[in-house]
Amino acid sequence: MQSISGIIYLILGACLLPYVFTLIAKKASGFSAKDNQNPRRFLANTTGLASRANAVQQNSFESLPLFIAAVLMAEYMVIPQSFIMTLGIAYLILRIIYGICYLANWATLRSIIWTLSMLCPVCLLLLIIKIV
């Protein structure tokens, strides 16, 4: 088995990505320390760029379980690490592009990129099913 450090970096990157969009949402909304008493309510009431950044953050958290499960299961089932890394990096890049599309309010492209990003962990799981 090759070094697992690449897999760990993939998971870490995917886990930290939502927080980038959280920071963008807070910055765009004028979030301050006084708003920290109930930040979810504050962000839920934002509009425009801040609202879209908050939506990206929420969607990014929602997609994490599938991604993490697929990567860990693929590693456990000894799928070639190069394949796991390729799909994992593609997922991260597509999620970043997805976020940019969301922030720019490009709804159709955003939906296409979302679909492509979700196909990455789904492909890993389908490969696992095939070898089981």
Digit-coded pLDDT (tens) for 34-78? 778 888 888 899 999 999 999 999 999 999 999 999 999 999 998
Asked: is 5-131 a CATH 1.20.120.550 domain? The reply is yes
- Two tokens, residue 53: 């950044």
Q: What is the mean pLDDT of residues 19-26?
A: 94
Nearest alpha carbon to residue 113 among 131, 89, 96, 88: 96
Instruction: Supply the pLDDT for residue 1.
Output: 46
- Outline where the chain has alpha helix (H): 5-29, 39-44, 48-76, 81-104, 107-131
Q: Is 116 helix (H, G, I), strand (E, B) or coil?
A: helix
Question: Between 42 and 19, where is the model more confident?
Answer: 19
Instruction: Supply the pLDDT for residue 2.
Output: 52
